[in-house]
Amino acid sequence: MEAAADGAPPATPPTPTAADARADRHVLPIGLGPGELVLLLSMASGADTLLLRVVAPEEVAAGQPVPVTLRVENVSGRDLELELRGRTIAFDLVAFDNTGSEVWRRLHDASIPGILRLERLEAGATLELTATWDQRSNTGDPVPAGSYALRGELLTAPEPLVTPVRRLRILPPGPT
Amino acid sequence: MTWKAWRFRGWLVVGLLAVAGCQDEPGLTGPSAPEPTASVAPAGPAGAARLFARSSPEVLALPGTVFAGRDASGETLVFGVERRAVIPEVARVLRRLGVPESAYVVRVVEPIRFLASLRDEHTPTLGGVQIHFSNYLCTLGFSVDHAGGRSFITNSHCTDKQGQNSGTVYYQPTSSVNSSPIGVEAHDPSYSRSLPTCSRGKQCRYSDAARVLYESGVESLGEIAKTTNENDGSITVSGGFDIGNQDDVTTEFSGTLHKVGRATGWTSGEVDETCVNVNVFGSNIQLLCQTMVVRPEGGIAAGGDSGSPVFRRTGSSSAKLVGILWGGSSSGDYFVFSPLKNVQDELGALNATTDGGGGSDGGGGGDGGSRGRCPPGNPTHPNCG
């Protein structure tokens, strides 16, 4: 299940993945303020709930690094223990172009340690995982200006938790 | 399944379903004991209920008994035993209690064991089960005889400080389930910038492996937990792979390899890249001469599988150990492992084919009370000759 960004023309939705299908069983998308999308996830244990969202600029200049944050908030009202992959948490970020094709994945071809980290997230607390997209594709080439969709994936056990997409516009280079 | 597998504490193999399967078998019902001397015939279900209340506690106190109950009509007592040899003893007790032979049947059924998963407690320990340290979960790779004492091998990154001896304390499956540690980190060699082919700016080793010395009294098997099926996601333990042999020499692999880990259970795939240098995501660590095993469908490994034993199957319940898994892709379509040869080059000679009868002697040498055996096809092994 995907939701369009507030005020932005609807992009062609990315091709659903198996992770999407799994997430759909638990997803209740709700909108917040402009430019923010959130996803309420009810974990397998039932009442446990996490709020996941991707935070990124709405527009960036071509070639500029794009700061992207995967924000995970415990809205369950009680402390939770998350099982997250990696010694340092190995979250994933994915960028899709306006045809829905994946152009960049943070963990593309990455060999990640198979350790599982037990992360305690107190009631109301937020976990922020930040990375930077250098506007290059999985093949290392600069991506063209245009509209993109960003998605976050938290590598939890047993299944990854997936955010809805966040729209991002890469502006064409200005006149020199 | 080997005899050792039946020593596990806590799994279920078959439940009462075995009863139904036995009901039409000839020769399994009816005791061969003589008629009781003072029997009381049951008067319908009510009478049978009284006989049941009287007999059940005493019958189930006998060794080899499995269950006691009444059949669907409620008029006949039904007792389950593990083997025919138990039937005369059951009959003797029932006769003493005045239960007529016509009032009961005794059936031979499979014993009932608790269902256990790779994430449950296992005594003795064995490869493929969950271990816990600090705030992390990994997999116990395999137990070994080592000059430093009876130990198990897991990943170097499954220690408190990777690449140095930090005295990491391990629990199985978790400290909350069993607060008694099973072992303490004994050896985690440092990473080096100066190894041949190590890239600039990287810290390198040939294996992601550390040795953990067993605590005294902890029993361990030269075996890998076997789950119910291959590549089906099950983590339910149904037996074991006996480590009958280990590969001490190979660094280049081909064909099908298997692993068992606490996250994804027993999985297998095909060797894709072998003896390649691999950068570890999120670190400056580079592991030299590693092998990648792919399964395009995914699910071959996930978080928590670090430390999984990697092996070839040599039979339905036997294995040749070849290495230790340390990582893989986020999508689970491949895993990476360090060859056992590299592990031994860095941790010293080890023998993974033996059982350990009660843990280490504190690291003072010797084999820690284990009994070694000569691995088939490996005449140069220390236990051979």
Domains belonging to chain A, first-starting first, are 52-171 (2.60.40.2360)
DSSP annotation string for A107-143: TTT-BEE--EEEEEE-TT-EEEEEEEE-SB-TTSPBP
Nearest to B191 by CA among B161, B218, B167, B222: B161
Q: Over range B224-236, report the average pLDDT.
A: 96
Nearest to B90 by CA among B113, B110, B106: B106
Percent of chain A at pLDDT above 70? 72
- Highest mean pLDDT: which of B35-44, B95-104, B248-257, B360-369? B248-257
Q: Residue B304: its chain A contacts at CB < 8 A?
A: 83, 85, 114-116, 157
Q: Does the pLDDT at position B244 exceed 80? A: yes
Q: Residue A119: its chain B contacts at CB < 8 A?
A: 135
Q: pLDDT by residue (tens digit) across A129-162? A: 999 999 999 999 999 999 999 999 999 877 899 9
Nearest to B383 by CA among B355, B364, B359, B360: B355
Nearest to B286 by CA among B183, B209, B206, B217: B206
Token pair belonging to B101: 């032979």
Q: pLDDT by residue (tens digit) across B256-287? A: 999 999 999 999 999 999 999 999 999 999 99
Q: Residue B278: its chain A contacts at CB < 8 A?
A: 111
Q: Does the pLDDT at position B89 exceed 80? A: yes
Element housing B146 (H / E): strand B142-146
- Judge: B280–A85 Cβ closer than 8 Å, yes or no: no
CA distance A58 to chain B (A): 27
Neighbours of B77 (CB within 10 A): 23
pLDDT confidence of residue B112: 72
Asked if B210 has any chain A CB less than 8 Å from its own CB, the reply is: no
Q: Does the pLDDT at position A10 exceed 90? A: no
Asked if B255 has any chain A CB less than 8 Å from its own CB, the reply is: no
- Judge: B328–A83 Cβ closer than 8 Å, yes or no: no
What's the rounded Cα separation, in Å, for the pair B146 and B295?
33
Mean pLDDT of chain A: 78
Element housing B81 (H / E): strand B77-81
pLDDT confidence of residue A157: 74
Q: Does the pLDDT at position B29 exceed 80? A: no
Q: Over range B224-247, report the average pLDDT.
A: 96
Q: Which pLDDT band holds residue B359 (cuts at 50, 70, 90)?
A: low
Give this complex's ipTM. 0.76
Q: Does the pLDDT at position B169 exceed 90? A: yes
Q: Does the pLDDT at position B44 exceed 90? A: no
pLDDT confidence of residue B37: 37
The helix-helix angle for B44-60 and B87-96 (nearest 10°) equals 120
What's the rounded Cα separation, in Å, for the pair B326 and A86?
11
Q: Residue B328: its chain A contacts at CB < 8 A?
A: 111-112, 114
Q: Over range B53-79, report the average pLDDT.
A: 92
Token pair belonging to B371: 């009994």
Name the pTM for this structure.
0.73
pLDDT confidence of residue B24: 33
pLDDT confidence of residue A37: 37
CA distance A26 to chain B (A): 20
